[in-house]
Structure formats: C-alpha cells, structure tokens
C-alpha cells in the first residue's frame, strides 16, 4: 500500500516533480496561446479577402502578435523557473548545479 513519491516529493506529481512544464495548467495556457496565434493568423490572411474587412485583418494581426509575445514570455519564464528549481535541488543534495 505504500506508494513511492515522485522525485520532487510531491504526492500529486505536479510542478514540483517536473518543473513548470509538467503542470497541467501551464500546458493548457500554452495551448490556448498557440490557438490564439493560429486564429489571429487565419483572420489576418482571410479577413480582407473573405469578409472584405481590413479592420478584421488588423485585429487578427494584433491578436497573433500579442499571443505570440505572451507565449514566448511564458516559455522563457518557465525555463528560468525550471533552471532555478534544478539548482536548488542540486544544492540540497550537495551536487554541482547543472551548467547553463
């Protein structure tokens, strides 16, 4: 009946076990941002041709750009958090931290 805990010590195996990338909420946010970029790109390409609306194409472009910036920003933030977490764990075990 005794269950082994994941390496991070978290019973649920959430963000402590594998960093921010392993968190389901993080993945869901990233998928929404990727979807927003794709919808924005489609609106940009088809807004004026199909709907004869230049403002719709401009909104699509803005949406794609902002969602893309948010995607990359969140991605960089998650990598930095994972790196910090790995350094902290290595310090707790007395090991050398992983190279950057």
Per the structure, the count of domains in the chain is 1
Burial of 53 (0-12, 13-18, 19+ CB in 10 A): middle
Q: Structural domain of residue 79, as residue ranges?
A: 27-88
* Mean pLDDT, rounded, of the chain: 80
5 has a pLDDT exceeding 60: no
Contact 40, 61 (CB under 8 A): yes
Instruction: For the beta carbon of residue 7, count every other beta carbon within 10 angstroms.
Output: 11
What does the pLDDT look like over 6-55, one tens digit per residue?
444 444 444 445 666 667 888 899 999 999 999 999 999 999 899 999 99
The reply to whether 31 falls in a domain is yes
The reply to whether 9 falls in a domain is no
The reply to whether 20 falls in a domain is no
The reply to whether 99 falls in a domain is no
Number of helices and strands (H, E) in the chain? 3, 0
The reply to whether 53 falls in a domain is yes
The reply to whether 14 falls in a domain is no
The reply to whether 1 falls in a domain is no
């Amino acid at each position: 009946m005794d269950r082994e805990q994941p390496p991070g010590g978290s019973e649920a195996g959430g963000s402590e076990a594998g960093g921010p990338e392993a968190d389901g909420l993080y993945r869901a946010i990233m998928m929404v941002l990727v979807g927003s970029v794709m919808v924005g790109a489609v609106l940009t390409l088809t807004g004026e041709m199909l709907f004869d609306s230049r403002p719709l194409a401009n909104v699509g472009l803005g949406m794609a750009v902002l969602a893309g910036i948010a995607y990359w920003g969140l991605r960089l933030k998650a990598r930095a958090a994972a790196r910090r977490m790995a350094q902290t764990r290595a310090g707790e075990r007395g090991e050398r931290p992983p190279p950057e």
